[in-house]
């Protein structure tokens, strides 16, 4: 680690292979404290694989260096649990910290994601997809993280719900001084909320300020001619 203590994460020459297939290669980037970093790229580009390596769930070569003592929270795309399981929100959140979670901490977590305290008594199958995503964020916040990793946090939510989730993330970042790394497919979201963007298609295509690196040429290289992303870009004022 360098003496620059504003750096939360440094990734140097990262290579990730799964079953002898190289999924991610030649990745180099730095995340500073308080950054919102968006990871973009086509399906199969290695974005979720990168997150798994950052979380220590996959072997890799190169270096992933987190600031000593940093706490990391992770929010998956969706709740990988049967929603008809007879479990209340309170019971679900207690699975996160069964021995230490007080009623006050559960109330604080659910209020921090703009849900009513009374919802703690609701069953998992009784709430909407958007509310379940907020519950997953509350789950991550129970660990008092410094960094939150979001793997497409609005993949199953309608456009209005997506915007409210991103507004929530922005609010949480301000309130809790969080560093956020998120995977997104929406360039409007990237421009609106991200300080930096990592363009990934198995290797690093670009990294930097969105207005600097998201050129038509870079997007062409990143997405291989998928024009749906250029419509967003054309409507953006630099």
The CA distance from 89 to 183, in Å, is 26
Average pLDDT of span 47-65: 95
Q: What is the pTM of this model?
A: 0.86
Domain boundaries, the chain: 1-71+145-224, 79-144
The pLDDT tens digits for 176-201 are 999 999 998 888 888 889 999 999 99
Q: Residue 40 above 50 pLDDT?
A: yes
Q: Helices marked H in 74-201 — which ranges?
A: 89-94, 103-112, 129-141, 159-176, 187-193
Judge contact between 50 and 60, C-beta under 8 A: no
Q: Which tens digit of pLDDT belongs to each residue from 1-39?
A: 343 567 999 999 999 998 889 999 999 999 999 999 999
Q: Are 148 and 75 in contact (CB under 8 A)?
A: yes
What is the model's pLDDT at position 231? 43
> What's residue 4's pLDDT?
52
Give 68-96 pLDDT, tens digit per residue: 999 999 988 767 666 677 889 999 898 87
Query: Residue 156: its pLDDT value, please?
Result: 62
pLDDT tens, residue by residue, 215-237: 888 888 888 765 444 444 444 44
Encode pLDDT of 158-182 as tens digits: 666 777 888 888 889 888 999 999 9
Distance CA 150, CA 169 (A): 10
Order of strands across the sheet with 147-151? 61-66, 7-18, 21-32, 203-208, 196-201, 36-40, 179-183, 147-151, 72-75
CATH number for the domain running over 1-71+145-224:
3.40.50.300
Strands 61-66 and 7-18: antiparallel
pLDDT for residue 224: 78
Percent of the chain with pLDDT over 90: 52
């Amino acid at each position: 680690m360098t003496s620059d203590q504003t750096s939360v994460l440094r990734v140097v020459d990262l290579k990730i292979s799964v079953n002898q297939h190289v999924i991610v290669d030649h990745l180099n980037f730095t995340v500073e404290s308080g950054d919102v970093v968006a990871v973009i790229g086509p399906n199969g580009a290695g974005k979720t694989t990168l997150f798994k390596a950052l979380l220590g769930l996959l072997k890799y070569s190169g270096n992933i260096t987190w600031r000593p003592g940093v706490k990391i929270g992770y929010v998956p795309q969706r709740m990988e649990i049967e929603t008809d399981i007879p479990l209340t929100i309170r019971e679900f959140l207690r699975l996160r910290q069964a021995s230490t979670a007080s009623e006050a901490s559960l109330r604080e977590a659910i209020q921090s994601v703009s849900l009513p305290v009374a919802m703690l008594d609701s069953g998992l199958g009784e709430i909407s997809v958007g509310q379940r995503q907020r519950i997953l964020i509350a789950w991550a916040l129970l660990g008092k993280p410094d960094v939150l990793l979001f793997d497409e946090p609005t993949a199953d939510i309608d456009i209005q719900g997506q915007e409210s989730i991103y507004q929530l993330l922005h609010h949480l970042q301000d309130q809790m001084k969080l560093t956020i790394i998120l995977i997104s497919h929406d360039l409007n979201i990237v421009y609106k909320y991200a300080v930096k963007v990592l363009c990934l298609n198995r290797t690093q295509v670009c990294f930097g300020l969105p207005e600097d690196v998201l050129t038509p040429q870079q997007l062409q290289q990143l997405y291989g001619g998928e024009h749906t992303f250029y419509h967003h870009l054309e409507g953006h004022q630099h």
